[in-house]
Amino acid sequence: MTKFNDLKLDPKVLQAIAEAGYETPTPIQEGAIPPALEGRDVLGIAQTGTGKTAGFVLPMITLLGRGRARARMPRSLVLAPTRELAAQVAENFDTYAKHTKLTKALLIGGVSFGEQDKLIDRGVDVLIATPGRLLDHFERGKLLLTGVQIMVVDEADRMLDMGFIPDIERIFQLTPFTRQTLFFSATMAPEIERITNTFLHTPARIEVARQATTSETIEQRLIEITPTRKDQSAKQKRELLRAVINAEGEACTNAILFCNRKTEVDILAKSMKSHGFNAAPIHGDLDQSQRTRTLDGFRDGTIRFLVASDVAARGLDIPAVSHVFNFDAPSHAEDYVHRIGRTGRAGRKGVAVTLAVPADKKYIDAIEGLVGRPIPRANAPEDFALSEAAQRPARKDDGKAKGRGRDRDDRKGRPVKPHGEEAAMSPVEAAPQARKPERDAPERDEAKEAKEAKDGAKSNGRRGGKSDGRKRREDRDAPVVGMGDHVPDFLTRGLKTEKA
């Protein structure tokens, strides 16, 4: 069996590995480290949780042991799709490089540019960044990538899902042609394969068996619910989720609750808190400082329930998660493996519960096809019963919020009908109340009046009646009404046009 001591790593790195309690490399580490130390490009295909972060951090520290960083010119670059993944890479670097003098900088969104600029100006050996923030620094002239010797792209398939592939291609073009590239992805979509063929040079390909099976330490359950009303489906699922958590009792020390959409994350977190559960949301739209505080609170136990989108399904290394609840069945089968993999780690026991409605059948079928076996079905807790509120029709807007900010027209352009006391008033009486008191309101809607005049002109043109023309001339000679008591005489006379 291969040991870390057999991989020709720097003695200082081996010392840090031993202090971290590791002796044997994982398959992706065993396959990727030797060619990386030889300076070859590496193409690693492995799922999250297989240890590939150490698979590129360890050889990187060894290769960068000699040399010195220059201001604004990092010697190596690590790209990660999310802030959490980038932060995890930074933590791994700190763990394994603690006996070296190598420096690092973490460039992620939601953090002050000024603090990051100071780190870059001093010069860093390792730059860990998300693509967007990296390009922001480059376009501001604060960063040069011409000194990059080693470039790492982590979770490339996630980059593809998040639309970062154009940014990745641009960053590749900003780095030297002679760089060494370590490229890792869970899957090889055609777009990702095109990039590897373009930017990698005869790479060593290391492919770890696809993580299509779930850990035996995880107890899986699928609870199916058929909502009594379609418009109350989410509310009924929330009630079921609370009942399941209460049924788990003290065994549920903490849990991650996964939703498919960010809006649902916020709704579920708010609902959990309103029912006395210590819960907090985390997703991509939150400020980075808030995301960091939430994760730290979940790690130290001050937050019991972490309500998350799939941004947290990959890269969160929190060993002691007792439960995972899929409030929404994941639309991608592989995300199911990533989600429930947050529990049952490091030999611990874990529980993963998925709530499903009839519309989720295609997702459940895809998951069971991927893992190669059915998810054990379970019943709702015996004492579970839907509340009356969850079975009543969902409340509809009374129209006030819908028309907020528009006192004349709704979104389809129709005049808003008066109601209440205004409905009993004539248009002339009601109009002054809808406007500022110092202004006299016209008796008719100007747009409506113009439309009627236009329609009348068309109809008159078709009929060609002389009486209608004479009536229009009389209207032009009539004084203008509604301009106030102090209007000059010339404004009260109609306009006369010369006959052709």
Same domain, yes or no: 283 and 358:
yes
Clarify whether residues 295 and 333 are in a common domain.
yes
- Among 355, 372, 391, the domain-final residue is 391
In DSSP notation, 62-99 reads HHTTSS--BTTB-SEEEE-SSHHHHHHHHHHHHHHSTT
220: β partners? 352
Same domain for 172 and 243? no
- The tens digit of pLDDT for each residue in 412-444 reads 444 444 444 344 444 444 444 444 444 444 434
Query: What would the mean pLDDT of 458-469 be, rounded to a whole number?
Result: 48
Final residue before a domain boundary, out of 179, 207, 235: 207
Residue 94 has pLDDT above 50, yes or no: yes
Cα 351 to chain centroid distance, Å, stands at: 25
**457 plus 366 within the same structural domain:** no
Answer yes or no: is 212 within a domain: no
Contact indicator for 228, 293 with CB cutoff of 8 Å: no
Q: Mark whether 56 and 195 lie in a shared domain.
A: yes
Dist. CA 28–CA 32, nearest whole Å: 6
- Report how far apart, in Å, the C-alpha atoms of 45 and of each of 155, 184, 189, 215, 316 are: 9, 6, 11, 19, 19
**Domain contains 471:** yes
Q: How far apart are CA 353 and CA 299, in angstroms?
A: 21
Instruction: Judge whether 239 lies within some domain.
Output: yes
Q: What whole-number distance in Å separates Cα of residue 433 and Cα of residue 422?
A: 9
Q: Give yes or no: residues 245 and 331 share one domain.
A: yes
d(CA 101, CA 159): 31
Question: pLDDT by residue (tens digit) across 180-195?
Answer: 999 998 778 888 899 9
Model pLDDT for residues 287-343, shown as the tens digit of each residue: 878 888 898 899 899 999 999 988 655 666 677 899 999 999 998 887 888 888 888
Residues 201 and 287 in one domain: no
CATH number where 331 lies:
3.40.50.300
Q: Is 9 found in the same domain as 121?
A: yes
- Indicate the number of domains in the chain: 4
In the prediction, which pLDDT does 187 show?
Answer: 75
**500 part of a folded domain:** no
95 and 52, same structural domain?
A: yes
Residues 355 and 332 reside in one and the same domain = yes
Assess whether 418 and 319 both reside in one domain: no
Q: Which of 323, 356, 391 is the last residue of a domain?
A: 391
Which residues constitute the domain of residue 426? 400-441
Q: What is the 3-state secondary structure (H, E, C) of 164-195?
A: CHHHHHHHHHHCCCCCEEEEEECCCCHHHHHH
pTM (predicted TM-score): 0.64
In a shared domain, residues 437 and 450 = no
Please say if the pLDDT value at position 359 is more than 60.
Answer: yes
